[in-house]
Amino acid sequence: MGRGALPGLGLLLVACAGYEQGAQESVVRDSAGVSVVEYPQGIPTGPSWSLAAEPTVVIGEADGPEETLFSRVVAAVSGPDGALVIADGQSREIRWFDENGEHLRTVGGSGDGPGEFRHLSWVGRLNGDTIGAWDRSARRLSFFSSAGDLVASQEVGPIEATFDSPPGTFITMTPQVRGIFGDGSMLAELIIVYPNVAPGVRRDSVPLMLFDRGTEEWDRIGTILPAELFIDSESAVALPLPFGLRTQLAVADEWAVIGWGDEAGLTVIDRGGSARAVIRPNLERIRLGQDEIDADRRARIEVIAEPDRDAYRRALQAVAYPNVRPAHGRIVAGRNEFWVEAPSGSGAPESSSWLVFSDSGQYLGSLEAPGGLQITDVGDDHVVGVLTDELGVPRVVRFELRRGVF
């Protein structure tokens, strides 16, 4: 699965009615059964989608009942009946709330027993109303009903393979789960480490793996680019590059979308890793100012423990910051669509912009969300996300959604 342009076999101009002619056109090419959807003039303006001015549900407090206290929200998703399911990584608990935000049930907790977790790293909604959860340390999948009952669990065996990697590096067999399909099969990338490489910025491809629940085996279905890293000149530790490219991945029931973070655009793949659509939205990459870079350096150094601060400062000073931001931020998958966070300028904006595409790559609309809202789930008529206040208290919120029409 590559990122390069696919050879076009045919061209088709697709226009969305209701817009000024020329501004709305996308170019769709068919290449060996793969739709390549291009927006040469960039994304058109409209149709506008909107969220309600205030959330209909807010769950989370600085000081209150234990079930409303969150330390690290791993997931927040809604069920078909309007219930909310929230997973907290610190307590290793999954909590159910009704459509009004009233607590119903808590499951999980720290441990090795059925339905317990050592490291609760992924929780999400699968086919129907099943909730799936992945324990990275125990390598175990757990499945819960809409009421929170444990209905099944599955131990996941290790990856038994070796993969070529660039000189001075090696690829570990530890899967980093990026999402779970509707049938419970997991999509994961492997981790590359850099014990003996020169200092600098690296972004080397790694295997993209699928754990098939039916065969209980891991299969390599492609490759993926992880986040850009910079290599510390003294310790050879790989750290995320500030403002660096970061591959975003969102998984739906039967497909997944990968955003490479650069001008390569977005790729929709099926469960076997084959490309279904390639989208080139021609997003602008916003320039980084020196004042932003200086502020970022100061903020990163301030959170480092005092004994390590000088060494980290020297390493960070040697980092060549990029000139521009990534082309997009996070991606969230809905039922037949996905949402892409558009790039923003400096500071903490009062709102964030999102672009919505169908799973075939057609642009559906745009939306302004409250600044700081980390969207975690989208439905037909609502959005779920996490808002963190100035004291660091996370709150899960649900906003009603109004969809625009062409």
% of the chain at pLDDT higher than 70? 91
Given this model, what pLDDT does residue 26 score? 84
Highest mean pLDDT among 105-109, 191-195, 260-264: 105-109
pLDDT at 29: 84
Identity of the amino acid at 298: R
Summarize the confidence of residues 323-336 as an average pLDDT. Answer: 94
Confidence of residue 275 (pLDDT cuts 50, 70, 90): very high
Among the residue ranges 45-49, 138-142, 268-272, 329-333, the one predicted with the least confidence is 45-49
According to the model, what pLDDT value does residue 246 have? 94
Q: How far is CA 331 from CA 261, 327, 347, in A?
A: 11, 12, 21
**Rounded mean pLDDT of 340-366?**
86
pTM score, whole prediction? 0.89
Does residue 389 surpass a pLDDT of 80?
yes
Instruction: For residue 124, give Cα distances in angstroms to 121, 254, 361.
Output: 10, 14, 24
**What are 325's two structure tokens?**
């931001």
Summarised one tens digit per residue, pLDDT across range 56-100 is 999 998 888 999 999 999 999 998 788 999 999 999 999 999 999
Cα Rg of the chain (Å, integer):
22
Segment 43-53, tens digit of pLDDT: 887 778 999 99
pLDDT band at 33 (very low <50, low <70, confident <90, very high): confident
Q: What are phi and psi of 165, to 5 degrees?
A: -145, 165
pLDDT at 183: 92
Q: Are 177 and 251 in contact (CB under 8 A)?
A: no
Q: What tokens appear for 160 in the block?
A: 């038994």
Q: Each residue of 284-306: pLDDT tens digit? A: 899 999 999 999 889 888 888 88
pLDDT on residue 66: 92
Note the pLDDT of residue 236: 61
User: Per-residue pLDDT averaged across 2-27, rounded?
Assistant: 42
Closest C-alpha to 242, from 190, 199, 305, 294? 294
pLDDT of residue 233: 62
Please report the pLDDT score of residue 391 as a whole number: 83
Q: For residue 345, name the pLDDT band (cuts at 50, 70, 90).
A: low
Q: Read out DSSP for 283-326?
A: ---PBPPHHHHHHHHHHHHHTS-HHHHHHHHHHHHT----SB--
**Per-residue pLDDT at 406:** 52
Least confident of 179-183, 236-240, 276-280, 372-376: 236-240
Do residues 262 and 326 touch, judged by C-beta distance below 8 A? yes
Region 390-405: what's the mean pLDDT?
91
Q: Average pLDDT for residues 133-141, to the nearest whole number?
A: 95
